[in-house]
Structure 1
């Protein structure tokens, strides 16, 4: 999946701190640590991601 478009969190700036990036694939949502882009990725079903988003936006 080298053609993924990663979107960095709005809380992450060029000056820091590093944060998370998200990419949408056809059947999954991928999440990675922006300071370790080649590291492990969390893979979520789109429905799981949609359920998580309201909780994440509260913080």
Structure 2
């Protein structure tokens, strides 16, 4: 998995400060890698695509609180 900026994306709602955000890598065939934007060289959480999809749907439905 590449660690380059173009391989990772974050929400446009995150603002320009660069911190306190989840970043998601694109293009991985069997998993959705997620990392903390404050620590891009730190550990990555590898989620099954179905789990990531369920998480995104829950956030969109406001079922997840921050």
TM-score (norm 2): 0.71
Structure 2 CA distance for partners of 1:22 and 1:16, relative to 1, 3 Å:
closer
User: Which structure is higher in helix share?
Assistant: 2
Stretch deviating more after TM superposition (46-55 or 36-45): 46-55
Aligned match of 1:53:
56
Q: Which stretches in structure 2 are left out of the alignment for 5+ residues?
A: none
* CA RMSD between the two structures: 2.0
1:2-13 equivalences under 5 Å are 2=2, 5-13=7-15
Over 6 Å off, 4+ runs: none
Q: Which stretches in structure 1 are left out of the alignment for 5+ residues?
A: none
| Cα distance in 1 between the residues matched to 2:53 and 2:24 | 13
Q: How far did 1:52 drift? A: 1.4
Q: How far did 1:16 drift? A: 5.2
| Count of residues paired in the alignment | 59
User: Which structure is higher in strand share?
Assistant: 1
